[in-house]
Amino acid sequence: MGLLGFLPNLWSSTPPLLMLQHVHEGQQLNWAVAARSGQYPAPVAGLTVSSWTVVPGAPLGGPQPPDRVVRFYVQGRVKPKLLCLVDVRYFPQGSAWVPYYRMDERMYFTRRGHQWVPLTFLNGVPALVTATPLGFANAAGYYRGFSFSRTTGPITLAGWTVVRDDASPLPAP
């Protein structure tokens, strides 16, 4: 098996909050992101891809699960840097709760004169993360999935954290 062959399901006791997918060198890569709070390294260190697709995790029964925020980090020069946040909220579908997603990118701005100017640049270009939704948003603005990429180049995920959404996930500008 190659580098992306069988990867053990490290979080098998907790249903996945979402799945990250990408086709790399002809192989389907699927990484499960568990709903359990904590820090998780990328299952394959140093893997650089053009984009990732977020697809639904497992539906859950019982009472509505709490909202979660997944913070994705990319490899930085010295330490991992925050790439974007994915808000996860469960909505009812039949007798189950199904996860839906909304992406918030980390982008700091400053005011120059009468304009807002982004502070995060890479080679003179604002380093933006773009999201392409899979389908239409629900009434609350959440999607069943989306693909995300950087406008300035490929993504080397270092890992992610999962936290309960008890506070505002974005810093104040």
Residue 6 has a pLDDT of 34
Please give the radius of gyration of the chain, using alpha carbons only, rounded to the nearest integer.
Answer: 17
Domain regions of the chain by residue span: 16-164
Percent above pLDDT 70 for the chain: 76
Q: Is pLDDT of 125 > 70?
A: no
Say which residues have a Cβ less than 8 Å from residue 59's Cβ, sequence separation at least 6. Answer: 93, 96, 97, 98, 99
Higher pLDDT, 169 or 103: 103
User: Among 49, 44, 65, which residue's Cα sits nearest to residue 2?
Assistant: 44
Please write the tens of the pLDDT for every residue from 137-158. 999 999 999 999 987 789 999 9
Please write the tens of the pLDDT for every residue from 43-64. 999 999 999 999 998 899 999 9
